Structure 1
Amino acid sequence: MYVPAEFEETQIDILHELIQQYPLGILLTHGQSGLDANHLPFELDTEVTELGVLHAHVARKNPVWQEVQDGDEVLVVFRAGDVYISPQWYPSKQEHHQQVPTWNYRVVHAHGKLKIRDDERYVRGVVARLTRTHEAMQAEPWKMSDAPKDYIETMLKAIVGIEIEITKIQGKSKLGQNKEHRDIVGVAHALSTTGQREISKAMYQVAASKN
């Protein structure tokens, strides 16, 4: 990934936080049939290694787990928000008109080595933890025991686990860091008024760091 110095995010805790906030990643593999991309919700374990370990599962009918081998290098891309930026939002544009459209975004690229985990105990644990995490916001969280035992066992047999030990992690936050303070604030305000609050909030933080 091309990362200009002003857009590079190197703090591991921030990169981990973005993965946890935006857990739907794109798993990119290069198996027997060539390149493949699968969109999967991941669980990040930060206790085992410094860079972390990703856990997920795929449908047994998905050929990806048979197209790859243990130890294969893979890439998982996490997109933590993106938005189009109009030149009209820069106050400086009104003076010299030297601004062009762009796109602001935050992404994390996690490179790692893949391991297929085709065992019921592993996939049960992954599903249970993902469910506990993402049901926590519900008034009455669903749990696996809410469903009939034989139904859950059938569903678990229909999935295969995937474990990825992260060996390299890159972060890019393109938030107008190369712009004037007034232009960063101008864009952040415009995004806020149009409902794009995630990138807006991040840009206000960038502006504050320039004061």
Structure 2
Amino acid sequence: MYDLPYYKEQDEQVIKEFIDRHPFAFLSGCDTENKPIATQVPVFIEKREGRKILSGHIMKNTDHHKAFLHNEHVLAVFTGPHTYVSAAWYSNPHLASTWNYMSVHAKGKISFLDEAGLEEVLRKTTLHFEGYDQHSPTVFDNLPSEYRQKMMKYIVAFEIEVTEMNNVFKLSQDRDAESYHNIIEELKTQDEDGRVIAAEMEKRMKGVFPED
């Protein structure tokens, strides 16, 4: 991950909101042969007694479940919109083009929960994605008991205690003001990701160029 100070988001609340908006995390680790494994699952973050905790669930007895049982160290990657940035948009176009994106990496140790923990994670997950509609037929507590018990035999909940968190919000902060403005205007004409990045850059403009 880029370790350049001008690409770093310092506000912890902004980072949390980013994770909340992009909860479908890429979890990676290593198996018993030190081969990489990965899976993608929705993950939620919360603070408990000053500790950052990620929680979610995966299927039992899969390669990633077995790997995480063997090796508790895990990396969770949260990614958002990303887009190509052409150097043709710079005030000096004779430079390399690049890519703008936002990403958060959380390293930590994973542990697996009991049945009560699984119920709580499933309740949290279904409520969240159903817009906290208590009456939705698909939230955990409204599912038939027999179905819940059958389903829960095949999945397991986990928690990850975050030991290190890093981020890159690479949004052309290293460009001059003219280039920055040009990039925004060009990205507004691109696809949805480009437009989202343009809006994020606009929101940060005064922080990047306070005298502009």
Give the TM interval when normalised to the shorter protein.
0.7 to 0.9
| Residue of structure 1 in register with 2:16 after alignment | 16
Partners of 2:144 and 2:187 in 1: CA distance: 46
Alignment pair present for 1:192 and 2:188:
yes
How much is the aligned-residue C-alpha RMSD, in angstroms? 2.1
Give the AA of the match of 1:165: E
1:52 partner SS:
strand
| Residue of structure 2 in register with 1:120 after alignment | 115
* Deviations 1:153-203, CA, capped at 9 Å, x for gaps: 211221011110001110111000000112112212222222322211111
Give the AA of the match of 1:16: K
Partners of 1:152 and 1:171 in 2: CA distance: 37
Alignment pair present for 1:202 and 2:200:
yes
Give the AA of the match of 1:120: E
Task: Using the TM superposition, give the Cα deviation of residue 137 of structure 1 relative to its aligned residue in structure 2, in angstroms.
Answer: 7.9
Task: Using the TM superposition, give the Cα deviation of residue 60 of structure 1 relative to its aligned residue in structure 2, in angstroms.
Answer: 1.4
Task: Using the TM superposition, give the Cα deviation of residue 85 of structure 1 relative to its aligned residue in structure 2, in angstroms.
Answer: 1.0
Distance 1:50 1:89, change over 3 A: farther
2:188 partner SS:
helix
| Residue of structure 2 in register with 1:26 after alignment | 26
Mapping of 1:78-157 within 5 angstroms?
A: 78-90=78-90, 92-93=91-92, 97-117=93-113, 119-136=114-131, 141=136, 142-157=138-153
Task: Using the TM superposition, give the Cα deviation of residue 132 of structure 1 relative to its aligned residue in structure 2, in angstroms.
Answer: 1.1
| Residue of structure 1 in register with 2:73 after alignment | 73
Partners of 2:176 and 2:101 in 1: CA distance: 18
Partners of 2:119 and 2:126 in 1: CA distance: 10
Aligned pairs, number: 204
* Deviations 1:109-164, CA, capped at 9 Å, x for gaps: 101111122x22111111111111121188x7442244322112211221011110
| Residue of structure 2 in register with 1:5 after alignment | 5
Overall identity of the aligned pairs, in %: 25
Q: Unpaired segments of 5 or more residues in structure 1?
A: none
2:69 partner SS:
coil
Partners of 2:70 and 2:21 in 1: CA distance: 28
Give the AA of the match of 2:177: H
| Residue of structure 2 in register with 1:173 after alignment | 169
| Residue of structure 2 in register with 1:54 after alignment | 54
Partners of 1:49 and 1:77 in 2: CA distance: 23
Give the AA of the match of 1:131: T
Q: Unpaired segments of 5 or more residues in structure 2?
A: none
Give the AA of the match of 2:127: R
Distance 1:165 1:71, change over 3 A: farther
Partners of 1:18 and 1:70 in 2: CA distance: 30
| Residue of structure 2 in register with 1:35 after alignment | 36
Distance 1:147 1:137, change over 3 A: closer
